[in-house]
Structure 1
Amino acid sequence: MKMFIDPPAIYLHRDAVDFRKSIDGLVAIVEQELAHDAYTGALFVFCNKAKNKLKLLYWDKTGFALWYKRLEKQRFKWPSKVDRQAYSLTEQQLSWLLSGFDVIGHQSLNYQSLA
């Protein structure tokens, strides 16, 4: 996913979220459950119980933006049996997640010259 923002951090919220929640409800989760400041510009990713919908929330210095994605026939690969409440993702991992890949436990490849 090529975004028009460059978030300083991307966080995935592990637990399913009631998708009737909108911006204010998701900001409350960010600040109370994740103990993060929602006004930093970081991107927060939430999933519904069926794991076929995502919401992405971030502050863009003028207000909150909320993105929504729904899969028609598949489910997002989402961590469920792990200890942490939130995960830090790279932009590449977010792109993989939005494309349907399992991103937890996988790191992007880094190449370097042998010379």
Structure 2
Amino acid sequence: MLDLAGGTTVYLACGSTDLRKSYNGLAAIIKLKFHLDPYSRCMFAFCNRRRTSIKILQWDGSGFWILMKRLDRNYFRWPDTPDELKKVTLKEIHWLCDGLSLDPKGAFEEHHPKITI
């Protein structure tokens, strides 16, 4: 089953990727270019050159899942640095998928209040 738990590690392949690639092609990029294990429980996110489509690859123990989102207008605020892999939180990938940047202005910072009894 697809794991969308809060502790899931998410990696962004910064820059652009040819999204005509499917499971094996994206897994090969993860292994050969970024030297990570595509069969880990991590999510790996890729974006096309025009920044209108995102593909997310994740292994669930028995097979790969691909999540894909394509925008009809506008573009994703995807990091530009080519050949870089950036570790982000699940919250940050949600921001990107919602059209925000990785550092949205006005977003609430997560904090844990101290409980006094």
TM-score, normalised relative to structure 1: 0.85
- C-alpha separation in 2, matches of 1:112 and 1:95: 21
- C-alpha separation in 2, matches of 1:50 and 1:76: 9
Question: What's 1:51 paired with?
Answer: 51
Q: Is the 8 A contact 2:16 2:82 kept in 1?
A: no
What secondary structure does 1:57 align onto?
strand
> How far does residue 84 in structure 1 lie from its aligned partner after superposition?
6.6
Matching residue's letter, 2:48: N
Q: Does 1:14 align with 2:7?
A: no
Q: Does 1:26 align with 2:30?
A: no
Q: How many matched pairs?
A: 112
Q: Is the 8 A contact 1:78 1:102 kept in 2?
A: yes
What secondary structure does 1:38 align onto?
coil
- C-alpha separation in 2, matches of 1:84 and 1:17: 10
- C-alpha separation in 2, matches of 1:25 and 1:108: 37
Equivalent positions of 1:1-115 (< 5 A) are 5=3, 6=5, 8-80=8-80, 82=81, 85-103=84-102, 109-113=109-113
After superposition, the C-alpha distances for 1:44-103 in whole angstroms (9 at most, x for unaligned) are 0000000000000000001011111101101000111x4771111111101101100110
Q: Which moved more, 1:82-91 or 1:92-101?
A: 82-91
> How far does residue 104 in structure 1 lie from its aligned partner after superposition?
5.4
Runs of 4+ in 1 over 6 A off after TM superposition: 105-108
Q: Is the 8 A contact 2:13 2:83 kept in 1?
A: no
Q: Kindly name which structure, 1 or 2, has the bigger radius of gyration based on alpha carbons.
A: 2
The 1:8/1:112 distance shift into structure 2, 3 A limit, reads closer
- C-alpha separation in 1, matches of 2:103 and 2:36: 20
Query: Percent identity of the aligned residues?
Result: 29
- C-alpha separation in 2, matches of 1:36 and 1:104: 26
- C-alpha separation in 1, matches of 2:18 and 2:82: 21
